[in-house]
Amino acid sequence: MAPVLEQLATQLAGKVKFVKAKIDDSTEAASSLGVMGLPTFVFFKNGQEVGRHVGTASPDAMKKKIEAVA
């Protein structure tokens, strides 16, 4: 998913912020967010969770998910 996210980060620059967390280094964050499977994408707006996607997705599908909650 890294290439997909890099592409979307470029396309959506200034509109959304992408943050990556390594579960091995952030076990508390993963636990508090209820991450059960990888990859898990949690979408936040104004500090509140507004969406979630578990698993891989095409660039177009992921962009639509992001734009729906942005």
pLDDT on residue 26: 87
What CATH code would you report for 2-69?
3.40.30.10
Name the phi and psi angles at 7, rounded to 5.
Answer: -60, -45
pTM over 0.85: yes
pLDDT digits (tens, 9 = 90+) for 15-53: 999 999 888 898 999 999 999 999 999 999 999 999 999
